[in-house]
Structure 1
Amino acid sequence: MLVALSETFGTDLVRGIGAIALYAIVGLLLMLLGFYAIDFTTPGKLSDLVRQGLPNAVIITASGLLSMAFIIVIAIWTSSTNLAEGLITSLVYGLIGIVAQVGAVRLLEWVTRIDVRSTIESKTLAPASFIVASAHLALGLVVAVAIS
């Protein structure tokens, strides 16, 4: 049995691999920016608290990263089929989504009067960390759907 490939198969394959690499770079940059946005707007130094193994810092950081991933995935998913336009759209929507998500979580924390600093610095599991984590995930989903 002979398999017939289209004339543009090789070119299309290389172009697809390049697009994957470029979107991965944009996604990674947005994830890093999202982490630093969460870290900057959260009292305390999250990366240090996570390295110390403080459970609430780990829960809140992990949920923040997942919420950023929701936003970035949808920003990429809804981007244009034109590679350059798609990358720009993903980057812009991702940045706007990150700002909206971080602002919304901080507002919700303020409204609920959760003392985030004492929560993330606690060495024991604090129920409030689940509220903050849920806010990250829920608002990340809301922002992601708003992008679509």
Structure 2
Amino acid sequence: MGDIFQSAGEALLYGLIGFLVMGLGFVALDLVTPRRLADVVWRERNRGAAVVLGGQMLGVGLVVTKAIGASESEDGLGYGLLSTGVYGVVGVLLMTAVFALVGLLAPGPMGAAIFEDRDERPHPAAWVQAVTYVGTGLMVGAALS
């Protein structure tokens, strides 16, 4: 019975680390977009911004999942939590860098394009950015295997 409670406690701690990394990812995306992301997604109900944010959260979740798996072979819970956090932050930094790079290569301001909804459809650039986040998350996760 004690193992169940210990495992539940560890799951809670890893979940908190994942939550913090996802929060950092949200802040990072908010910093590289032209308007306040929370307002655009929840108040304006912008589909393009929601697609990008969803892709980013999925990418971050993939990195954190792989980081937790990789930390199981590490020395102790504290080290596992620390390594999961560090790997998660590295994933967020890489995803943000890729977002900026795609924005530099794309014609016009990328942040403005993803916030553009036409006929209630997200701009195609929103889908590109969302999949770029997921792809980056998969690559970072593969590096942890």
- TM-score, normalising length: structure 2: 0.86
Aligned 1:95-114 pairs, distance under 5 A: 95-113=89-107
Which of 65, 70, 78 is matched with 2:62 structurally? 70
Aligned 1:82-97 pairs, distance under 5 A: 82-97=76-91
Q: Number of matched residues?
A: 139
Which of 126, 134, 141 is matched with 1:144 structurally? 141
C-alpha RMSD of the superposition:
1.6
The separation in 2 between residues aligned to 1:134 and 1:14, in whole angstroms, is 37
The separation in 2 between residues aligned to 1:29 and 1:100, in whole angstroms, is 17
% identical equivalent positions: 28
Contact 1:109 1:132 in 2 (8 A): no
The separation in 2 between residues aligned to 1:54 and 1:62, in whole angstroms, is 12
The separation in 2 between residues aligned to 1:108 and 1:101, in whole angstroms, is 11
Letter in 1 for 2:103: E
The separation in 1 between residues aligned to 2:139 and 2:67, in whole angstroms, is 13
The structure having more radius of gyration, on CA atoms, is: 1
Deviations 1:61-85, CA, capped at 9 Å, x for gaps = 1111111111111111111352111
For structure 1, list consecutive stretches of 5 or more residues without a partner in the other structure. 1-9
- 2:71 counterpart residue number: 79
1:143–1:43 Cα change, 3 Å:
farther
Q: Which runs of 4+ in 1 moved over 4 A?
A: none
1:27–1:55 Cα change, 3 Å:
same
For structure 2, list consecutive stretches of 5 or more residues without a partner in the other structure. none
Letter in 2 for 1:59: V
Q: Indicate the SS of the match to 1:104.
A: helix
Q: Indicate the SS of the match to 2:117.
A: coil
Q: What's the offset of the Cα at 1:94? A: 1.0
